[in-house]
Amino acid sequence: MLKKIAIDQFSELVKALMDRGPLYAPVKGKEGVDFQMIQDPADVTLDFYNTVLSPKFVFFPQSEDYIRYRIIQGSPEAQPVPLESRPAVILGVRPCDVRSFEIMDRHFLGAGVIDPYWKAKRDSTTVIGFAFDVTQPADPADFYNTFGYGAADPEGSDIFMIRTGKDLLFKGMTDRGKKLLDSLGCLQKGDDRDEKTFEETVEKGKTVRTRSAEIDDRVIAKKLVSIFDNGEFWQKVSMACIACGVCTYVCPTCYCFDISDETLFREGSRKRFWDACMFTDFTLEASGHNPRPRIFQRYRQKVCHKYTYHVDKYGCISCVGCGRCIRSCPVNIDIFGIVVEAGKL
């Protein structure tokens, strides 16, 4: 059953969601629009193409404490930090980003070890996906069509949201999503015409063209391994790379982290926090040896992790074509173009 609310009543919905628990939604900030935990319903905006940073931090914060401790003479005290399981909602996630959560699930939940930190937040969070504006062209950096995603694909969301002229339409895609929709008194029932609009938008979303190429997971995985030693190619495609961490930090599917104990005046915490394979010290060993001292080696690692190792280990490419790494790259490196070029070698 479709539900709807008039756009000018949208803040009623935001308030209702905030009453249930933490709500993450797009907020206009200085750099553009990004997801934030909402304090004031008026902060939420639906006028954006896509967020600068990906929504992964809702499940995988940039920094997260495992254990907090005090160093007391003789008997240090240490307490594990309780897992965060609260009925949260993340609203406004674009279809390609919704797929990123499923890819991250394979790593955090399907690798033989279940990551309790990811799982607690993922299990307790309802994802409200949000169709791109299907009347507008895609950003030139995007290439999510490559992975078969449309601009208004509802799959993967608990609830999928579409904006029409004056309404927001909501469709429950999972039991959790349907339950949440049923509990929201501020929503009205949609009629047959709304159903039709919803379906038409999903279809129209499939006609929004991003850059796209035939990239078969297994074929590209093999291809990249076969050109691993082609230093000339890797140096050429990464010559502009300055080895910062922008691409990995804005990426919805990069999950590498570091762990460190940080102590200040006898109190501290053991924490994990994002790390980036483009950093010089990412693979620096205690001996002083660094197996990837050069930028092209680290760039190759990044591409191969996403397009080869992830396929070998988890059966899918770890990229959704959201275009963030390309839009935010200080030197405009285009991973899509590089993968396509590699495929032709």
Does 79 sit near another protein (CB under 8 A)? no
Contact 232, 161 (CB under 8 A): no
Single out the segment in contact with another protein by CB under 8 A; choices: 94-102, 122-130, 168-176, 320-328.
320-328
> CB-wise, 16 or 247, nearer to another protein?
247
Q: Which amino acid is at 26?
A: P
Residue 26 bridge partners (DSSP): 35
Which SS3 state, helix, strand or coil, does residue 204 take?
helix
Whether 54 and 322 have beta carbons less than 8 Å apart is answered as: yes
Least CB distance from residue 108 to another protein, whole Å? Answer: 19
Q: Which is nearer to another protein, 267 or 312 (CB)?
A: 267
Pairing of β 23-28 and β 88-93: parallel
DSSP 8-state secondary structure symbol assigned to residue 258? E
By CB under 8 A, is residue 244 in contact with another protein?
A: yes
Q: Which helix (H) or strand (E) segment is 170 a member of?
A: strand 167-172
Q: Residue 167 or 334: which CB sits closer to another protein?
A: 334
Which listed range, 77-85, 89-97, 162-170, 255-263, lies at the site for another protein (CB under 8 A)?
A: 255-263
- Determine which helix (DSSP H) or strand (DSSP E) holds 269, and give its type and residue range: strand 267-274
Does the protein bind another protein through residue 333 (CB under 8 A)?
Answer: yes
Q: Binding segment for another protein among 2-10, 164-172, 189-197, 271-279 (CB under 8 A)?
A: 271-279
Stretch binding another protein (CB under 8 A), from 38-46, 162-170, 277-285, 302-310:
277-285
> What is the spatial distance between Cα 214 and Cα 54, in angstroms, rounded to a whole number?
25
Distant-in-sequence, close-in-space partners of 275: CB < 8 Å, separation ≥ 6: 256, 257, 258, 282
As measured in angstroms, the least distance from the Cβ of 267 to another protein is 13
136 counts as binding another protein under rule CB under 8 A: no
Rounded to whole angstroms, how far apart are CA atoms 211 and 140? Answer: 7
How far, in Å, CA of 111 to CA of 221, rounded? 19
| Encoded tokens for 239 | 């010559």
Does the footprint of another protein cover residue 322 (CB under 8 A)?
A: no
Strand partners, 93: 129
User: Beta-strand (E) ranges in the chain?
Assistant: 2-6, 23-28, 33-37, 63-70, 77-80, 88-93, 125-130, 159-163, 167-172, 188-189, 257-264, 267-274
Residue whose C-alpha is closest to residue 23's, from 10, 6, 32: 10
In whole angstroms, what is the distance from residue 282 CA to residue 216 CA? 30
DSSP 8-state class, residue 273: E
- Judged by CB under 8 A, which of 276, 277, 311, 342 binds another protein? 276
- List binders of another protein among 15-54 (CB under 8 A): 29-32, 52-53
Distance (Å, whole) CA 166 – CA 158: 23
Of 10 and 273, which has the nearer Cβ to another protein? 273
Least distance from another protein to the Cβ atom of residue 329, Å: 9
Residues 145-184, mask of contacts with another protein (x by CB under 8 A):
----------------------------------------
CB of 172 to another protein, least distance (A): 34
Nearest-approach distance from CB 101 to another protein, in angstroms: 20
Q: With CB under 8 A, what is the number of residues at the site for another protein?
A: 40
Verify binding: residue 254, another protein, rule CB under 8 A: no
Q: Which is nearer to another protein, 29 or 106 (CB)?
A: 29
Q: Which residues form the interface with another protein (CB under 8 A)?
A: 29-32, 52-53, 62-63, 140-141, 211, 239-240, 242-246, 249-250, 258, 260, 262, 271, 273-274, 276, 279-281, 326-328, 330-334, 336-337
